[in-house]
Amino acid sequence: MRLRLDYIDIAKGIGIILVVCSHTIYPELMYYTSAFFVPVFFFCSGFTSSKKEIGIKENFIRHALKLLKPYLCFSILLMLIFHDFSLRAIFGIFYSRYCLYPFGTEPDIVHFMIVGNYPMWFLTCMVVAYLLYEIILYSPRYQYHLVAVYLIAAILMQYLPILLPWSIDTAPLMAIIMYCGTQVRKYFPDIFSSKAPNTLVIISLVTYLLLIPFCQDINISVREYGTSIFTYLLAALTGSILVTWLSRLLQGTIIGKGLQHIGIHSLTIFCIEIPFILWGKQLPMILFRDLPQQSQLLATAITQIVVSIAGGYLISLLLHKNKHIRNIVFYE
């Protein structure tokens, strides 16, 4: 069963705005949210998922197609937009990792995703995470053993000299976050049914506030977890719970409805944000050049966010409007 909950779409809307913000000229705005703005998508996926009656192979293929069809289509579109058909660009699409080496380990980290497609590592990572997550669901007797194996694997793969394709080194941790989302729904079914925070939400708030100082320099796209993988995992989970609860508070409001629409179209925004990020940088740098540097950066970042979200949202609407194009780009 796949649940469709308004506040989950709102949480995804908040998440994609934060993702776009992290790619602007002023990513310092992400100081308090760097631990959860990507994991919240995995948490929400786990929260709304459960074991299906169909086999694990068929179930995985469905999830993979939903992610890989837009991945391929938007990759081709971005190659056209950036006029880059080099072997590196093509290889980057297949390898699906921002670079080959972790930051700080090589003078040349060897960039792969060079056609504005670097946010799309998320899609292939989720494909792998879905497979690992479903192995847990379809193995009820060994669920906790598998979680332990995934955690150990993620810890060990931190020391690999290269970043693995399709985020194979990061996906086990994301699968754990998905599984935790499922467990939260199982053991705390009413956690988001009321606007009043329950005990788990309060504990999550206190825990996350305590963990903020340990959650800097996080970038899971290049396998950076901040102080440690354990503090990151705990912060990712508690932060995801908090933003989902906040989304429940916003449900039914004007702001909530706007975020809900953005969340429904977050996949397209993920894929096409970078051209809009670049276009949104040009005009503000001219209009606000007389402002103090900090104000100029803030104004430019806000413009980039608005342009990227609005542009991606409109493109998604157009793609979904035409049945034939929708069937080519998306799997429904």
- The pair of structure tokens assigned to 150 is 């995934």
The shares of helix, strand and coil residues in the chain, as percent rounded to the nearest 5, are 70, 0, 30
How many angstroms separate the CA atoms of 82 and 93, rounded? 14
Q: Minimal CA–CA distance to 302: which of 288, 292, 313?
A: 288
Q: Can you tell me whether residue 157 is helix, strand or coil?
A: helix
Supply angle C-alpha 289, 116, 229, rounded to 5. Answer: 95
R_g over Cα of the chain: 19
Residues 6+ apart with CB under 8 A from 155: 229
The confidence score (pLDDT) of residue 51 equals 66
Supply angle C-alpha 14, 20, 24, rounded to 5. Answer: 140
- The pair of structure tokens assigned to 191 is 């956690």
The confidence score (pLDDT) of residue 243 equals 97
Q: Can you tell me whether residue 96 is helix, strand or coil?
A: coil
The confidence score (pLDDT) of residue 292 equals 83
How many angstroms separate the CA atoms of 180 and 80, rounded? 39
Q: Residue 187, Cβ neighbours under 10 Å: how many?
A: 9
Average pLDDT per consecutive 10 residues, the chain (332 residues; last block may be shorter):
80 97 89 93 92 78 94 96 94 94 75 93 97 94 96 96 96 98 94 88 96 91 94 97 96 96 96 94 76 84 94 96 90 75
Residues 6+ apart with CB under 8 A from 76: none
Per-residue b or e along 98-136, where b marks 16 or more CB atoms closer than 10 Å to that residue's CB? bbbebeeeeeebeebbbbbbbbbbbbbbbbbbbbbbbbb
Q: Minimal CA–CA distance to 51: which of 186, 221, 172?
A: 186
Query: pTM for this structure?
Result: 0.95
